[in-house]
A and B are shown apart, each in its own frame.
Chain A
């Protein structure tokens, strides 16, 4: 990643397009699961989403491998795609955008209270 790519993020765009091209080649039920995975991983995204790229790459790799094995998507991911995504993002302790908001709010309130001299 060079300076230009850091600023514009167009390496992310390129990578994203490559993901979508790979997803296009999957069977229909796998494509639906891919859409679900993207939705359920987005809460764990950082500001740019760069942290999700290797995770998405791995998940797509899993879908490709299992599709080639001829398994149904339900055999692979079960009912709990959301739980699968939470585990992908780093287990139950993974920080989502809600945790970041809560932290910011608490910090701000603590600062204001400090200014009041409480």
Chain B
């Protein structure tokens, strides 16, 4: 009985998910070019590494990181997403956080990498190099 209920529940939620997701992609295709409109899913795992890299270059804050990613061509990245990534980095002890007063509004949180963060960044680039070399190889038809 429990199994039936939980399966039915899971099914109904995925159904909703499908309706919402399909609906939203269709909508976005009108606004943007067809090729680069669906990067969000592919970016998911790598965005954290990108943020680490940006922080590694200089101590910076959420809005600047978002702008940097947008300039790079990831127009879909919003500050809310960057904020949750920064929270996770902070929780995992990879960044050092300093509060600095800003010209207007509340003080900003500035982020810099600590030793664990630099280690994590090196691991990310190693993984990335491996992943992209494997996928390139696949594309070229090699084994």
Contacts of A76 in B (CB 8 A): 78-80
Contact between A71 and B105 (Cβ–Cβ < 8 Å)?
Answer: no
Tier of interface size on chain B: 10 to 19
How does the 8 Å CB contact mask read for A42-69 relative to B, with 1 for contact and 0 for none?
A: 0000000000000000100110111111
Q: Is the interface of B mostly helix, strand, loop or mixed?
A: helix
Docked complex Cα distance between A61 and B80 (Å): 12
Tell me if B118 is interfacial: C-beta within 8 Å of chain A: no
Contacts of A106 in B (CB 8 A): 2
Q: Is the interface of A mostly helix, strand, loop or mixed?
A: helix
Query: Interface size on A (CB < 8 Å)?
Result: 23
Contact between A88 and B78 (Cβ–Cβ < 8 Å)?
Answer: no
Contact of A62 with B106 at beta-carbon distance under 8 Å, contacts A102-B6, A106-B2 already known:
no
Chain A residues packing against B (C-beta within 8 Å) = 58, 61-62, 64-69, 71, 75-79, 84, 87-88, 91, 102, 105-106, 109
